[in-house]
Amino acid sequence: MLRNYVGDSAFFKSLNLYLTTNKFRSAEAQNLRLAFEEITGQDLNWYWNQWYYGSGHPKLTIDYVYDDNAKTVKVIINQTQESGKVFQLPIAIDVYNGAAKQRHQVWVENKTDTFTFAYSSRPDLVNVDGDKILLCEKKDNKTLDNFIYQYKYAGLYMDRREAIDYCSKNQDDPKALDLLKAALKDRYYRLRNFTLSKLDLKRDAIKTAFESSIAEMAAHDPSRVVKATAIEMLGTYHNAAYKILFARAAADSSYTVSGNALEALSAVDSSAALTLAKKLVKEPAKGKLIAAISSVLIKSGDESSFDLISDNFEKMPVNQEKFMFIRPYSELISKVKSTTQVKRGVDLIVKFREAIPQAYRNQTDGFINNALSGIAAKKTAAGLQEQADYVKSKVQKGF
């Protein structure tokens, strides 16, 4: 925000002055302010008091009132933060007519500010915070048509992201769906991925309308991040027509792409997935691929793979993926007959439980201890009391 306010040249000259003046000694925020004031010639106490020494952030509600008779549009900005603090916000408001854009620099300084702009024909878009640099929460009451225009013509990353987000909340509207389809071809891969994440595939109409686009991205998107997401989503269709696509993607150099593809293949052809998993388990793997290989082997009921799966589980870092793998791994431990293998598996789960940072233990201990109790119950039911007693000894008291 500061760089946007003072401009690139002044921003970097100010930083240079600050670093040069204060080299080899300690400095405080006021020293940075003094450097900026010397370069810009402005009093910036208001900025430092608001953003450096103050607390909170603005929450804005933005409304638009068009008057075609008076040929004016009013932009009404309300600051709604509960603290009662009122921020001073220098921002740009861009008014679009066709391909033309007129920029207005304004200051938001009151709890409610109204800015009035004249027009000869009703604007296609009034874009508050045209540079999308303001740190705030906002409710921007633009129309669907406004957001569609914003995506096509305003052009910044946040302009496009806001439009995608708005359209994702209006998936009953054909125009919103058209924009989402266009956004699946956005030039920036993170926006393509964001759009995928917003599709409501629980609705049959959406699932049908976007299947071909998702399949195209799963096969050909240049971003491995997007490709992995598309394959994961395509797997929810359980369509055997994509078997070849999944099998090919399972050999991808990206472990996430490969892992998602193997899981998707397992849902449509468990035999082919098992054959592939037995091949992949002998090769270097980590992350999502390790989890997918292990999951496929566990589902097959092949106890001979226990040691390989345990090796994979042990190699996984302490993360959400490993936590989610506790359930299928516990099922495998419940099935194996070897006491040595059961003890190894239980010990690995306990080791993972103890490695989880203390701040998260109240969220994870219950789940892991319940998984261990489930293993013990199944061992007791199978008449394997020695194994059951060992597992029970690893369950924390109180669970």
Instruction: Say how far apart CA 78 and CA 185 lie, in whole Å.
Output: 35
Q: Per-residue b/e over 12-31, b at no fewer than 16 CB within 10 Å?
A: ebbeebbeeeeeeeeeeeee
Does residue 398 share a domain with residue 363? yes
The pLDDT value given to residue 99: 76
Instruction: Say how far apart CA 141 and CA 75 lie, in whole Å.
Output: 10
In a domain, 6, yes or no: yes
Does residue 115 share a domain with residue 68? yes
The pLDDT value given to residue 294: 83
Using the predicted structure, report yes or no on whether residue 146 has a pLDDT greater than 80.
yes
Residue range 150-205, pLDDT digits in tens: 999 998 999 999 999 999 999 999 999 999 999 999 999 999 999 999 999 999 99
316 pLDDT band, cuts 50/70/90, is: confident
In a domain, 307, yes or no: no
Residue range 80-97, pLDDT digits in tens: 999 989 999 999 999 999
The pLDDT value given to residue 234: 98
Does residue 33 share a domain with residue 68? no
pTM: 0.83
Q: Which of 365, 362, 359 is nearest to 396 (CA)?
A: 365
48 pLDDT band, cuts 50/70/90, is: very high
Does residue 291 share a domain with residue 229? yes
| Cβ neighbours of 297 (radius 10 Å) | 24
Does residue 295 share a domain with residue 204? yes
Q: What token pair was written down for 20?
A: 């040069």
Using the predicted structure, report yes or no on whether residue 226 has a pLDDT greater than 80.
yes
Task: Please state at what angle helix 326-335 crosses helix 288-300, rounded to 10 degrees.
Answer: 30
Does residue 291 share a domain with residue 206? yes
Is 99 strand, coil or helix? coil
Using the predicted structure, report yes or no on whether residue 244 has a pLDDT greater than 80.
yes
In a domain, 29, yes or no: yes
State mean pLDDT over 226-244.
97
Does residue 291 share a domain with residue 339? no
Residue range 14-27, pLDDT digits in tens: 999 999 999 999 99
The pLDDT value given to residue 158: 97
The pLDDT value given to residue 26: 95
- The dihedral built from the CA positions of residue 60, 61, 66 and 67, taken in this order, carries a sign that is negative
Phi, psi of 91 (to 5 degrees): -135, 165
Question: Domain containing 345: what range?
Answer: 320-399
Q: Which long-range contacts (CB under 8 A, 24 or more apart) does 371-379 make?
A: 371/326, 371/327, 371/330, 372/330, 372/346, 373/399, 374/330, 374/334, 375/330, 375/333, 375/334, 375/342, 375/346, 378/334, 379/334, 379/342
State mean pLDDT over 211-232.
98
Number of domains in the chain: 5
Using the predicted structure, report yes or no on whether residue 325 has a pLDDT greater than 90.
no
Contacts of 139 (CB under 8 A, 6+ apart): 60, 61, 62
Using the predicted structure, report yes or no on whether residue 237 has a pLDDT greater than 90.
yes
Using the predicted structure, report yes or no on whether residue 254 has a pLDDT greater than 90.
yes
End residue of a domain, out of 187, 217, 246: 187
Q: What token pair was written down for 331?
A: 């099922």
Whether 87 and 58 have beta carbons less than 8 Å apart is answered as yes
Residue range 279-299, pLDDT digits in tens: 888 787 777 888 888 888 888
The pLDDT value given to residue 397: 82
Q: Which long-range contacts (CB under 8 A, 24 or more apart) does 292-296 make?
A: 292/258, 292/259, 292/260, 292/262, 292/263, 292/266, 293/259, 293/262, 294/325, 294/328, 294/329, 295/263, 295/266, 295/325, 295/328, 296/262, 296/263, 296/266, 296/270
Contacts of 208 (CB under 8 A, 6+ apart): none
Whether 262 and 292 have beta carbons less than 8 Å apart is answered as yes
**Which helix (H) or strand (E) is 128 found in, with range?**
strand 125-128
In sequence order, which ranges of the chain are alpha helices (DSSP H)? 2-6, 8-21, 29-40, 45-48, 144-149, 157-168, 174-183, 189-198, 204-220, 224-235, 243-249, 255-268, 270-280, 288-300, 306-315, 320-324, 326-335, 339-355, 358-381, 385-392
Distance of CA 48 to the CA centre of its chain: 31
In a domain, 309, yes or no: no
Q: What is the CATH number of the domain that holds 126?
A: 2.60.40.1840
In a domain, 311, yes or no: no
In a domain, 312, yes or no: no
Does residue 152 share a domain with residue 241? no
The pLDDT value given to residue 303: 74
Does residue 379 share a domain with residue 364? yes
The pLDDT value given to residue 392: 95
Average pLDDT, the chain: 94
The pLDDT value given to residue 23: 96
| Cβ neighbours of 94 (radius 10 Å) | 20
End residue of a domain, out of 300, 331, 362: 300
Instruction: Say how far apart CA 199 and CA 185 lie, in whole Å.
Output: 14
Residue range 340-364, pLDDT digits in tens: 999 999 999 999 999 999 999 988 9
Percent of the chain with pLDDT over 70: 100
Contacts of 352 (CB under 8 A, 6+ apart): 318, 322, 323, 326, 368
Q: What is the CATH number of the domain that holds 231?
A: 1.25.10
Does residue 175 share a domain with residue 238? no
> Does residue 375 or residue 398 have the better pLDDT?
375
Whether 276 and 250 have beta carbons less than 8 Å apart is answered as yes
State mean pLDDT over 142-154.
96
In a domain, 306, yes or no: no
Does residue 217 share a domain with residue 276? yes
Instruction: Say how far apart CA 338 and CA 118 lie, in whole Å.
Output: 81
Q: Which of 77, 73, 76, 103 is nearest to 88 (CA)?
A: 77
Percent of the chain with pLDDT over 90: 83
Using the predicted structure, report yes or no on whether residue 1 has a pLDDT greater than 90.
yes
Using the predicted structure, report yes or no on whether residue 301 has a pLDDT greater than 80.
no
Does residue 65 share a domain with residue 25? no
> Does residue 155 or residue 74 have the better pLDDT?
74
Distance of CA 344 to the CA centre of its chain: 35
Strand partners, 100: 97
The pLDDT value given to residue 269: 95
